[in-house]
Amino acid sequence: MAYFGGAYLIMNLVGFIMMGIDKSRAKKRQYRISEKSLWLVALFGGAVGGAAGMQLYRHKTKHVAFKVGFPLLAVIELGLFSYFWAMLT
């Protein structure tokens, strides 16, 4: 059970940090993190962190797919996390 919560926390930290790194690279016109990579992290449990990073860093907020998809995926992930957490405890 601890592994489940720990993995979820780590993926969300990764999603949050990746948004910050990509925003920093965008400002400096450097090589960017691909949108595919951002989505993969979100799909594997990092949507809450990714959505939080989007808002904090004001990054990808003009892209409709990100603006709608990340928060929607975050709500779904939180629901699934809560359900499985309740089942395991």
User: What letter represents residue 78's amino acid?
Assistant: L
pLDDT value for 2: 74
With the C-alpha atoms ordered 15, 23, 65, 40, is the resulting torsion angle positive or negative? Answer: negative
Average pLDDT estimate for 2-19: 93
Token code pair at residue 3? 């592994």
pLDDT one-digit tens code per residue, 30-84: 999 999 999 999 999 999 999 999 999 999 999 999 999 999 999 999 999 999 8
Tell me if residue 12 falls in helix, strand or coil: helix
For residue 85, pLDDT over 90 is answered with: no
pLDDT tier, 1 (very low <50, low <70, confident <90, very high otherwise): low
Q: Where are the domains of the chain?
A: 2-88
